[in-house]
A and B are shown apart, each in its own frame.
Chain A
Amino acid sequence: MDNELFMNTEFPTPPEMATHFEHQPSSSSAMMLNWALMDPTPHQDSSFLWEKSTEQQQQQSIFDSALSSLVSSPTPSNSNFSGGGGDGFLIRELIGKLGNIGSNNNNSGEIYGTPMSRSASCYATPMSSPPPPTNSNSQMMMNRTTPLTEFSADPGFAERAARFSCFGSRSFNGRTNTNLPINNGNNMVNNSGKLTRVSSTPALKALVSPEVTPGGEFSRKRKSVPKGKSKENPISTASPSPSFSKTAEKNGGKGGSKSSEEKGGKRRREEEDDEEEEGEGEGNKSNNTKPPEPPKDYIHVRARRGQATDSHSLAERVRREKIGERMKLLQDLVPGCNKVTGKALMLDEIINYVQSLQRQVEFLSMKLSSVNDTRLDFNVDALVSKDVMIPSSNNRLHEEGLQSKSSSHHHQQQLNIYNNNSQLLPNISSNNMMLQSPMNSLETSTLARSFTHLPTLTQFTDSISQV
């Protein structure tokens, strides 16, 4: 999946190409040359192939074997080039260089240093003039510049080479740019200047790559970031992928995927719809390597290290955590839930508790019905005087039977039952029902009314039993 960052659409799979090399040495060399000369689209193929082969050792070994086969193969490849017998040598060097770039065992920081792959000991001299290990370069370079000119005059080649070197970044990560022949290359001929552009990109990459913090999930994106940051023009075809990953990086690594924006938007909607109390910056979860981002419009959720960065899975994770929060809340409510651990058992406990409460309500209502046949005749209106503020009950319902009837019927009812208005409900409140404040206000208000007293509870029950 990470390689898809670099992937253009139609690519042959690298093993196919590599094995193709292996099996058919002559045609493979022809193919490699065809890479050099063909149109940009196959060049993309080749660059991709190079890149792939750099990443995977196995393919690299295949590649190296292909290289060696190339090296060993004689001159039929030379026919494509104008120029003399130095062509085969040229090609070998070039390919060796490219192989060198791809190999992880580079000797020095130079690309154009000795183009030494494992099997390329026959490659003598570099193309440009970095501080080479062997100093017999000058002649060779003179010789080679002309065919090299022609060879590298192909515009696609530099592009490919540049791209390829960028793709070979893995090998240069730990390196500084000390030995890279940027300046030297600029002193050279035009074409080698083109070639040095290839070298400069790893220089830039070597510069840039230490800066990029390697998160667990961001490690693959490092490659394309310097690509985006490098100022090379020929790196244009692969620009969609660096821009992609760059924006992913620029998102602060939120979720690490392109869909983080959509996910963030979705999260915002979900959050706002579900809980308006939660602030907008709520979902920030810090990664292992980076500090949490400041809250923005969306609620950003970062994928944790080692977890999928899929937007769905992130949403799942947030939702799970929400549910876990509420479970904790419920745990406090339900008695005896502290010992139980695990969601399933706790949920069972909660369900049992709700069921038990409902059964209790039913049982008590049964009891009330048997007990309160005649005992419920007390003046509710006395309890609900106009001066009494009922806290926090928002009765905007107009359901019949509760309000209108209570106001109409209870003026004349059972005044004789009540002896003392302060004693009925305080007796009930002795069972922790706090009706003191309404009762206090009632004392003042009911004096103005027709009835003067409310019974004590015992008196109340006695009088009712007498009825």
Chain B
Amino acid sequence: MASADKLINTYVPEKDVFALHFLQSLSNLRTQNPLNSPDKSIDRVRKIKKAAYVSMARAAGGTSRLWSRALLRRAAKDDNKSVRFSRRKRKVTWKISSKRKRSNQRAPVVEEAAERLRNLVPGGGGMETSKLMEETAHYIKCLSMQVKVMQCLVDGLSPK
């Protein structure tokens, strides 16, 4: 990896952490629906997908990452649950980010791509471009880890 990693922290836990969290969430799903057959499979799919994202967010570092925080908040809002966040160590730099957005001298090419990224990455709306790219890097790592876990699970559980 580039030496920039020393400055930009993109540490992602091992796969088993993800696996653990995901399996936990799946089993919880299981217990939530003892009838094993909700009305539509789409709901189940959606639930599993949401469980996957939530477990990924939790495995990847809980509330210490911007994207995971936004993801969890979004999920909690849907379920009408409350998410307790740990205290942020850094102070919120709204002033700077708003100042930066005001000056539209940024490279428009980069900025429109950043807009698209913001729509994709959870919590991207409040970040400026450099922070966004950090979060994207971490998000990509976690996503790929989660995909691997799920793939393994599916392979393991699918009929031979």
Q: Cβ of A390 < 8 Å from any Cβ of B?
A: yes
Instruction: Using A350-B136, A406-B28 as known contacts, say yes or no to A364 and B150 having CB atoms under 8 A apart.
Output: yes
- The chain A residue with its CB closest to the CB of B9 is A277
A402 to B21: give the CA distance in the assembly, Å: 9
Q: Please measure, in the bound complex, the distance between the C-alpha atom of A394 and the C-alpha atom of B44, giving whole angstroms.
A: 28
Interchain pairs with CB closer than 8 A, number: 249
Whether A328 sits at the interface, judged by CB under 8 Å, is: yes
Is the pair B61, A329 in contact by a Cβ cutoff of 8 Å? Answer: no
| Chain B residues whose CB sits within 8 angstroms of the CB of A461 once the complex forms | 156-157, 159-160
Cβ proximity bits A369-401 to B, threshold 8 Å, 1 near / 0 not:
111111111101001100000111111111111
Nearest chain A CB to B102's CB is how many angstroms away? 12
Per-residue A-contact encoding for B31-54, CB less than 8 Å = 1, 0 else: 110001100010011011100111
Determine the chain B residues whose CB is within 8 A of the CB of A406 once the complex forms: 24, 27-28
Whether the pair B28, A428 counts as a contact (CB closer than 8 A) is no
Query: How long is the Cα–Cα vector from A327 to B117 in the complex, in angstroms?
Result: 13
Contact A433 B17 (CB under 8 A): no
Cβ contact within 8 Å between B129 and A433: no
Answer whether A365 and B2 are a contact pair too, CB < 8 Å, given A274-B130, A390-B20.
no
Min CB gap B66→A, angstroms: 12
Interface residues on chain A, size class: 35 or more
Q: Are A277 and B140 in contact, with the CB atoms below 8 A?
A: no
Contact A354 B27 (CB under 8 A): no
Please provide the chain A residues from 264 to 314 with a CB less than 8 Å away from any CB of chain B in the complex. Answer: 269-270, 273-278, 312
**Chain B residues with Cβ under 8 A from A398's Cβ?**
84
Bound form: Cα–Cα A384–B21 in Å: 10
Confirm or deny: A320 has a beta carbon within 8 angstroms of a beta carbon on chain B: yes
A371 touches B158 (CB 8 A): yes
Main secondary structure of the interface of B (DSSP, over half): helix
CB of A150 within 8 A of chain B?
no
The answer for the CA separation of A380 and B109 in the assembled complex, in Å, is 48
Pair B64/A394 contact, Cβ less than 8 Å: yes
Contact-size category for B? 35 or more
Pick the interface stretch among A29-37, A173-181, A340-348, A445-453: A340-348
For B49, give the chain A residue with the smallest CB separation. Answer: A365
Contact A361:B49 (CB < 8 A) given known A369-B41, A393-B58, A428-B19: yes
The verdict on A316 contacting chain B, using a C-beta distance below 8 Å, is yes
**Contact (A384, B156) CB under 8 Å given A330-B137, A358-B120, A396-B63:** no
Residue contact A330 to B136, C-beta cutoff 8 Å: yes
- Say how far A429's CB is from chain B's closest CB, in angstroms: 8
Q: Is the C-beta of A122 less than 8 angstroms from some C-beta in chain B?
A: no
Which residues on the B side are within 8 Å of A278 (C-beta)?
7
Seed contacts A322-B130, A343-B113, A433-B149; 17 additional CB < 8 Å A-B pairs:
A273-B96, A334-B140, A347-B113, A350-B117, A354-B136, A354-B143, A362-B45, A365-B45, A371-B154, A377-B27, A377-B30, A394-B61, A394-B86, A399-B81, A405-B28, A434-B15, A438-B16
Interface residues of A (CB under 8 A from B): 269-270, 273-278, 312, 316, 319-320, 322-323, 325-330, 332-334, 343-344, 347-348, 350-351, 353-355, 357-358, 360-362, 364-378, 380, 383-384, 390-402, 405-406, 409-410, 427-429, 431-435, 438, 457-458, 461, 465
Could you list 13 A-B pairs, sorted by A, with CB under 8 Å? A270-B96, A319-B106, A326-B4, A326-B133, A347-B110, A350-B136, A362-B45, A364-B150, A364-B151, A368-B48, A372-B26, A410-B27, A431-B156
